[in-house]
Structure 1
């Protein structure tokens, strides 16, 4: 590797960034460093850059370098879960009396953390539609320290104009944090569009195989990176070496997996669009999506998530979830296998009764990479 930005293609960086063969053994796949502690030659002087694995671990360091490279950022920090990453970002950026702007269809876990935990410490929030830059701007107050967006959002797949909202946030001296979980760094790179921090639940597309829990924060801001690192060490919500290894393995195939996720999702959206049992298909790749033009401008493709509203309401939505055979009824998303769920009862139950609650006729579909004919046939029989 040479000094300076890594200009290699995305798929090349996913396989090689931070992952040169082991200098001692020549191993192409780097070893998993399970040690919790590292020898010191003299008091206070470790032999290398690591002293205790909560503060830093060689396997985790490789993951963090790869994450930063894939997001086109300078500093990557990995965490034990996506929620741990969200919590770290919030605690690094807000104090009692501060204010946060959130999407009005924000992920239920993010909403719960703000609504049930941070409000107890004097942090307030306002919900606004991310697809409306003027509404996001109007939600900002003199106390706003963070504009937090998802794009596409979970579960209504609203699309935010990242560059425009970055301008609005920065004009108010607020930081823009983008949850890029649904798009993955392969489809969208918010730092290049003006975001200050990119957050991921690496459990999802980055891991890609539904076998590891993790989270990440990526930034170009050295001061923020230091705050994130301090909370990694002080609060301890860090991934272990085996989790780091699984994430690293998953990231190597992100580019090819996302291409298939997107192709399959496009076919699913096209088949369901206009189906007599479906009142609305929500997918950024459809011309009917209000954010289609923005998504086409800032995303490589339109993603592997499709949401649908059922003409028969809540009962029909639940019935669809329970009748599929290949689409597994389960929470989470982004794995190679297709999943289906009812957000109002499952992933977003914590938002019930609030303006962030999803409609009860909504079904969220994580389209996997199985043969598309099998997926389409499964949805056909489930809707029959």
Structure 2
């Protein structure tokens, strides 16, 4: 006698071809359990038996109800009289004829989210698609709003029998349009020319002073609730007059925008001994030559000067120096050193500079020092700084 004793876990997943009898010692709780346990008997003319209390009409009625419910399910499947909406799971595919690459509607959802996550962003802006659904006379429609820095703003699916089908249809359309737009841009790249103002080199100039055309870039945010650092563009050749009058409306996240225009046109002189303007080995035909520097604007005189103090602070950061410049003599500079994970560093090189925090993928400006704290000081009364950043 071949006998297998199992709990109700055996209702699913067991495929015993030679099983011809299933006996339940306890009654099933649902119709699904009733059908699944009987399905373990795989041989033709198999039997399905229950052990019930003698004279228990309640248990007999329960079995009878399970049989009637199963019969109703089979009848609805056969005649399609169920009011449950039928979902067509047919996979739609987009194929690139030139390469043979394909993408299905199922994988397009995750691919679109991954594309949006790769768009430029910072800690205040998380680029991702927003999906909305609405019903019309022909079915459910999915409306996708892409991040503002994506080349496409919105996608609308065709009517589908369910939300899931509408989402897949819209995502597949978005992937197709993004790919075709990118391919179109690639085909046009060979026709794009570098403006003459950016091709004018300033290297190999014999004069000690170099005179550059300078342009103040004015930022007008909307809403005007924050300030943007003022920058100047410096070129050897002047830009065309039509470019001087051009305004560009930059669309940012959360409905924000910044109107960009050239407000001040001037001439600036740079001394080559103090300002490194390039290298003599630059020979690429698409190379550009310009300076984009922070400036201080005198609105009354209509002029601007380079903010060398801010540039010096930024360039004092160790990330712009070679490792040998950042080393600290452990014996002679004991009172002017910070002992970091990569070795001792001069305090003067850390103050008023930029530091990079890998765990947050962010740059910070160091404005001060807490000499009474070190790596083993308490962090939020739970752990010390060393353990916290090791876990981060």
TM-score normalized with structure 2 length: 0.21
> Which one has more relative contact order, counting CA pairs under 8 Å at least 6 apart?
1
Rg larger in 1 or in 2? Answer: 2
Q: Which has the higher helix share?
A: 1
TM-score normalised by the chain length of structure 1: 0.21
